Amino acid sequence: MSEEDLLKKFRSGDVRALARAITLVERRDPSIRRLEEMLRQDARVPGVVGFTGAPGTGKSTLVDSVVALLRKNGQSVAVLATDPNSPFTGGAILGDRIRMQRHALDTKVFIRSMGARGHLGGLSLATREAIRLLGAFGFDEVILETVGVGQSELEVAAMADTTIVVLTPNLGDSVQMIKAGILEIADVFDVNKADLDGHTRVMTELRAMLSLAPKAGWKPPILATVASRQEGIEQLWDAVLAHRRHLEKSGQAQALTEQRLRDETAEVAAELARRRAREALDKDPELAKRLFDDRTPYRTAEEILDRKR
């Protein structure tokens, strides 16, 4: 498909063109730059909500329930399930899409699992660009779901307007989350599977921890849901909207937008620098030999970056 055809189909609302564009983003295909330039006039900023938490907390069921609520309210929604686990094969988790099959025929719902496609560290940048494409396509809301391991949680928090940390009573994960520093990225806490014994204990522990946090600014609410029965979902979304109003009123929304642009620019610069370094070492045997003889990667990198293009 040519760039012109892709752009035409994208603007006509062809979901296959959107999927193709996101695939190009994942592959770091240079043509996506031109497509994004042409789509700048279509730019709109969707709301972005991140769901993170340990595996087994029911994040996918929770996201599925939120999607159902948003569609009931007449909003279009895209779900990006980020999978950082397979940087070499590009394998992206499919379980999320399987669990959300009830939305499969809804043209106002787009569900995509994203992998790094062979680029270590490239998932964050690809997801940022995918969010921009989803906004240009016209989606009102974008939901990010992480498999809940390490760095991916922090990356989702850096991209989302509101980050929801999901816990459950039966995994003993409340203390684990607190130790992992997740308190610092949570805008909303949700204790899912609240029909199980122990959910009040988890909520009490969280309240105790939050009481030790600084008093100024946003206080993350602690909510309970039973996503499998659609219980508590409206209250959860109300908390998201309340957090958005807080960001706008406090001026943090604009600051977050500017910080994300700075972060993305730094990521793009790092990616371009890596590409230049690999090309230089592949094309300049003398440079490569000096590197191998002297074992000075830092000095070699500076030499590459100082070269005129």
Give residue-wise pLDDT tens across range 21-30: 999 988 888 8
DSSP state for residue 101 in the 8-state scheme? G
Give the pTM.
0.86
Name the 3-class secondary structure at 51.
Answer: strand
pLDDT (average), residues 146-174: 78
Residue 109 φ then ψ, to 5°: -125, 130
Report the range of poorest mean pLDDT among 121-135, 193-207, 252-266.
Answer: 121-135
Q: What is the pLDDT of residues 144-155, one digit of tens each?
A: 998 655 666 777
Reported as a pLDDT band with limits 50, 70 and 90, residue 177 is low
Residue 166 contacts by C-beta under 8 Å, 6 or more apart in sequence? 51, 52, 53, 57, 58, 59, 62, 190, 192
**What pLDDT digit, counting tens, does each position of 31-68 carry?**
888 888 888 776 788 999 999 888 888 898 999 999 99
Instruction: Give CA–CA dist 199/5, Å, rounded.
Output: 52
Q: How far apart are CA 253 and CA 247, in angstroms?
A: 5
Q: What is the DSSP letter of 98?
A: H
- Domains of the chain, with CATH numbers? 42-250 (3.40.50.300), 262-306 (no CATH)
Place of tokens 């989702």: 156
Give the pLDDT of residue 92: 44
pLDDT in tens, 179-216: 556 777 899 999 999 999 988 988 988 888 888 777 67
